[in-house]
A = this chain, B = another copy of it.
Amino acid sequence: MHKYAVTLTPRFYETDAMGHINNATIAAWFEVARVGFLDQLAGKDVALARSWILASVQIDFKGETFFGSDVDIHITEASIGNSSLAVHCEMRQDGRLTVQGKAVVVFIDFDSKQPQRIPDSMREKLASIG
């Protein structure tokens, strides 16, 4: 089961002169899925939704992505620590695996910008969508 899924339609300007979707666009798409997933964890609490900073992102390109066919992005796994959350994604186009990604986000106090424990409400929400 997936924790979150979103389907994106590639846009022509997201291609580059190699004829495929540019790698920086893939990083941007990963953000779309990650923000959607984190907003789902936060529920209606907008302040919670905006309390994450991105610590790292790793993207493995398994195949080219092209204009002309939709891309399915799934959040496949989320490993929770004290203040950090590792979010894994997979992208597929026409059933082909094109991208595997992993991002680590850290929950912070917005005023001090210091890491703080991820709230129980989000832990429970995460467990429930496992």
Contacts and interface: CB of A to CB of B under 8 A. Distances in A.
A13 B28 CA distance: 7
B19 A54 contact: no
A39 to B, nearest CB: 9
Give the number of times this chain occurs in the complex, counting copies.
4
B61 A58 contact: no
Interface string A21-45: 0111101100110010000000000
A126 interface: no
B67 A60 contact: no
Contacts of A13: 16, 22-25, 28, 31-32
23 contacts: A11-B32, A12-B16, A12-B17, A12-B22, A12-B31, A12-B35, A13-B23, A13-B25, A15-B17, A17-B17, A17-B19, A23-B27, A23-B54, A23-B57, A24-B25, A24-B27, A24-B28, A24-B31, A27-B27, A55-B61, A56-B59, A58-B58, A58-B59
List of 4 A-B pairs having minimum Cβ-Cβ separation, nearest first: A24-B28, A15-B17, A27-B27, A13-B22
